[in-house]
Amino acid sequence: MSSGGPNWFKYASPMAFYPLAGRLIPWFAVPAVVLTAIGLYMTFFVAPVDYRQGDAYRIMFIHVPAAWMSMWLYICMAVYAALGLVVRTRLSSMMAQAIAPTGAMFTFIALWTGAFWGKPMWGAWWVWDARLTSELILLFLYIGVMALRAAIDDTRRADRASGLLALVGVVNVPIIYYSVQWWNTLHQGASISMTAAPTMSRIMLWTLLVMTFAFWAHAFVTSLMRVRGIILERERHAEWVAEMVDETK
């Protein structure tokens, strides 16, 4: 019996999700551009100079959101991979494939900006700190997932193999997050906690949140654009793709 409401399960089909993704992209693209512009302006012209680190701390407003996104996107990728393995929905594996490059990019940005932040603070571009090392492992996991998928010609086997690797790698995410608590590290602890008040000024917090939402919007845009390409590639022999191509001629 139908309840009369929208049938959201239909969007688990690549054919139904493809046009939906196309409609959603502009809704995230505009906030991505606007929030990035606002966030960068706040970073360089509004946020005050830190009394300890001076202007060098401003890289935090890119480094911290990128690090958050690197971990969160990996979890999202692993969840989609799990759905692809358990429920065997084709779109889930496609979404996992689409998220991986963006997650790898944010992980690289987190490591790169961390090196620039660490040089004036620690006197070195890189130290084998628990937080830094586990974040580097996360980058290798992203690369491993993408490389394993590319190395296998059969799509279903590639989905299974890369999905299993993604799931195994999830154990690294809590290691990254709790590394500063579990080990004696150079990396500072969290400035924002769910159980305690922020240790930064309100304007710094707002700048950090604006950049975080900008990165979120960017991740949605790139993942949706990429999954549309993946859908067309995998479904290129489907009748609906042929009809869509004919309509555009």
Task: Kindly report, residue by residue over 57-93, the tens digit of the pLDDT.
Answer: 899 999 999 999 999 999 999 999 999 999 988 999 9
Q: Cite the DSSP H helix spans in the chain.
A: 14-41, 60-86, 90-122, 130-151, 155-169, 172-182, 202-234, 239-248
- Which one is predicted more confidently, 238 or 3? 238
Judge whether 73 and 43 are in contact, CB under 8 Å: no
Q: Write out the two tokens for 46.
A: 């509004």
* Residue 171 included in any domain: yes
Q: What pLDDT was estimated at residue 116? A: 85
Residue 206 lies in a domain: yes
Nearest to 18 by CA among 221, 224, 242, 180: 224
What are the CA-CA distances from residue 245 to residues 190, 229, 233, 241, 249 (Å)?
A: 50, 14, 13, 6, 7
Residue 130 to residue 63: CA distance in whole angstroms = 17
247 pLDDT exceeds 80? no
The angle formed by the CA atoms of residues 22, 25 and 30, to the nearest 5 degrees, is 150
The verdict on residue 144 lying in a domain is yes
> Is 179 inside a domain boundary?
yes
- Is residue 61 within 8 Å of residue 44, measured between CB atoms? no
Q: What are the structure tokens assigned to 71, written together?
A: 């971990």
Angle at 24 between CA 21 and CA 25, to 5 degrees: 85
- Angle subtended at Cα 218 by Cα 198 and Cα 171, rounded to the nearest 5 degrees: 65
Mean pLDDT, rounded, for 168-179: 91
Q: What is the pLDDT of residue 46?
A: 92
User: What's the pLDDT at 198?
Assistant: 55
Which residue range forms the structural domain that includes residue 187? 79-191+198-234
What is the rounded CA–CA span in Å between residue 138 and residue 177? Answer: 12
CA-closest candidate to residue 112, choices 59, 152, 75, 69: 59
Model confidence, pTM: 0.89
pLDDT confidence of residue 2 = 47
pLDDT at 80 (0 to 100): 96
Measured at the alpha carbon of residue 245, what is the angle toward residues 239 and 248, in degrees to the nearest 5?
145
Q: What is the pLDDT of residues 91-129, one digit of tens each?
A: 999 999 999 999 999 999 999 999 888 777 777 777 888
Asked, for residue 28, whether it belongs to a domain, the answer is no
Q: What is the mean pLDDT of the chain?
A: 87
Residues 6+ apart with CB under 8 A from 158: 148, 149, 150, 151, 152
Query: What pLDDT shows up at residue 137?
Result: 96
Tell whether 209 is covered by a domain.
yes
Residue 185: what pLDDT?
62
Q: How far is CA 94 from CA 73, 81, 165, in A?
A: 14, 9, 15
* Listed residue (156, 159, 133) closest to 145, CA to CA: 159
Could you give the number of structural domains in the chain? Answer: 1
Q: What is the pLDDT of residues 195-223, one digit of tens each?
A: 444 567 889 899 999 999 999 999 999 99
